[in-house]
């Protein structure tokens, strides 16, 4: 049996992984995974031993916000939680003899998506280049996870990350997950916005951008397999297929039995909006820009973690 400690009581990813592993136990007819959750909001967690856990899944952190609306003091909090707290957690895990530490990072460390009509592919040689304090805080979190783990480490060519070297038998392994947009039932962020658009808009642009996305159950299965392997390194899980923003809206509309027409005649207006300065341009590029992860980074050591395909994942995500 694997014992997993999840940091963060209200994390969407943490709660989903916990539920997935419980369901996996039920399907197997035995307890293969035991999960516990802990809050890191105060310092009490430092007084509790983590000895006996095979893995710490670190999902406690501050999520993306409208960077233009946060004060310097609020921005500082992102570094304290996403970076400093990560370093403290990984140091405790190493000191208490935990076998593996998984840190959920984000492709936001590579900056924003490409503008409308342009491509952006994260490959093995792509270097992190955060566009704002949120992305920088996640990158600093990765660095803190490695620096405070006590493991041997070496710079890794794959996207400028780090790979934990297998050392002594009792040495903790640090795994960093650089995640694309996560979606699923009850998710937050950009996906619910697209769901609302699919429900309310009769027409939608037919822009041929490309996005890497990751359904929450696919992520949970990836994490389950990673825990079984007990490995460290930098990982890039994603769905098998790239999708366009139009694909997402059309699939949501279909799942909700709504009609929506996609018109290429609207594309010039999207392009014009993307060139405008300020908030309008940023929103257009965020919605219709491209950002993909090279597939060769995502299906190497762990390849069969697709619980369901894109269409089925959308059905599950928007079901009543």
* Residue 115 falls inside a structural domain: yes
* Residue 206 falls inside a structural domain: no
pLDDT value, residue 67: 66
Query: DSSP string spanning the chain?
Result: -EEEEEE-SS-HHHHHHHHHHHHHHHHHTS--EEEEEE--SSGGGGGS--TT-SEEEE--SPPP--GGG--HHHHHHHHIIIIIHHHHHHHHHHHTT-SEEEEEEEGGGG-SPPPTT---EE-TTPPP--SSHHHHHHHHHHHHHHHTS---EEE-SGGG-EEEPP-STTPPEEEEEEE-EEE-TT--THHHHHHHHHHH-SEEE-----B-EEEHHHHHHHHHHHHHHT--EEE----SS-B-HHHHHHHHHHHTT---EEEGGGHHHHHHHHTSSSHHHHHHHHHH--BEE-GGGTSSSS----SS-HHHHHHHHH--
Locus of tokens 């947009």: 181
> Can you give the CATH number for the domain in which 233 is found?
3.40.50.720
pLDDT value, residue 73: 87
* Residue 251 falls inside a structural domain: no
123 contacts: CB under 8 Å, gap ≥ 6 = 159, 294, 297
Where in the sequence is the domain holding 69, given as residue range(s)? 2-182+214-239+293-309
Do β-strands 162-164 and 153-155 pair in parallel, antiparallel, or remain unpaired? antiparallel
Radius of gyration of the chain (CA): 20
Locus of tokens 């997935």: 20
* Residue 105 falls inside a structural domain: yes
Provide the β-strand partners of residue 162. Answer: 155
194 contacts: CB under 8 Å, gap ≥ 6 = 245, 248, 249, 252
- 250 vs 105: CA distance, rounded Å: 29
* Residue 32 falls inside a structural domain: yes
pLDDT tens-digit readout, 145-164 = 999 987 544 434 333 344 44
Spatial contact of 7 and 40, defined as CB atoms under 8 Å apart: yes
Spatial contact of 261 and 246, defined as CB atoms under 8 Å apart: no
Sign of the four-CA dihedral 191, 303, 309, 313: negative
Record the tokens describing residue 103, joined without a space. 């840190």
266 contacts: CB under 8 Å, gap ≥ 6 = 203, 204, 205, 206
Report the candidate in 179, 181, 320 with the shortest Cα–Cα distance to residue 248.
181
Q: How many CB atoms lie within 10 A of CB 168?
A: 7
* Residue 262 falls inside a structural domain: no
- 270 vs 113: CA distance, rounded Å: 15
Low-confidence ranges of the chain (pLDDT < 70): 64-68, 151-170
pLDDT value, residue 137: 96
- 25 vs 34: CA distance, rounded Å: 9
Domain count, the chain: 1
Spatial contact of 124 and 294, defined as CB atoms under 8 Å apart: yes
- 210 vs 122: CA distance, rounded Å: 12
Task: Tell if the pTM clears 0.75, that is, is over it.
Answer: yes
Record the tokens describing residue 157, joined without a space. 């060519």
* Residue 195 falls inside a structural domain: no
* Residue 218 falls inside a structural domain: yes
């Amino acid at each position: 049996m694997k014992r997993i400690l999840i940091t963060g009581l209200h994390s969407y990813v943490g709660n989903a992984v916990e539920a997935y592993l419980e369901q996996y136990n039920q399907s197997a007819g035995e307890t293969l995974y035991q999960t516990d959750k802990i809050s890191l909001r105060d310092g009490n967690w430092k007084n509790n031993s983590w000895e006996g856990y095979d893995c710490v899944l670190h999902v406690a952190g501050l999520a993306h916000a409208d960077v233009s609306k946060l004060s310097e003091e609020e921005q500082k909090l992102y570094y304290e939680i996403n970076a400093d707290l990560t370093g403290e957690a990984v140091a405790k895990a190493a000191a208490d003899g935990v076998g593996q530490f998984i840190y959920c990072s984000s492709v936001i460390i590579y900056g924003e998506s490409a503008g409308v009509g342009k491509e952006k592919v994260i490959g093995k040689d792509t270097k992190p280049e955060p566009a704002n304090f949120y992305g920088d805080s996640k990158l600093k979190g990765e660095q803190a996870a490695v620096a405070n783990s006590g493991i041997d480490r070496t710079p890794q060519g794959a996207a400028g990350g780090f790979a934990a070297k297998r050392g002594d038998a009792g040495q903790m392994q640090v795994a960093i997950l650089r995640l694309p947009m996560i979606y699923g039932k009850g998710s937050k962020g950009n996906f619910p916005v697209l769901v609302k658009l699919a429900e309310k808009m009769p027409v939608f642009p037919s822009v041929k951008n490309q996005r890497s996305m990751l359904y929450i159950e696919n992520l949970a299965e990836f994490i389950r397999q990673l825990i079984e392997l007990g490995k460290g390194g930098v990982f890039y899980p994603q769905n098998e297929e790239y999708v366009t923003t139009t694909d997402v809206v059309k699939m949501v509309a279909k799942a909700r039995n709504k009609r929506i027409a996609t018109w290429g005649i609207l594309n010039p207006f999207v392009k014009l909006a993307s060139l405008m300065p300020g908030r309008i341009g940023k929103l257009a590029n965020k919605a219709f820009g491209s950002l993909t992860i090279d597939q060769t980074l995502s299906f190497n050591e762990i390849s069969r973690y697709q619980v369901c395909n894109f269409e089925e994942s959308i059905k599950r995500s928007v079901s009543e």
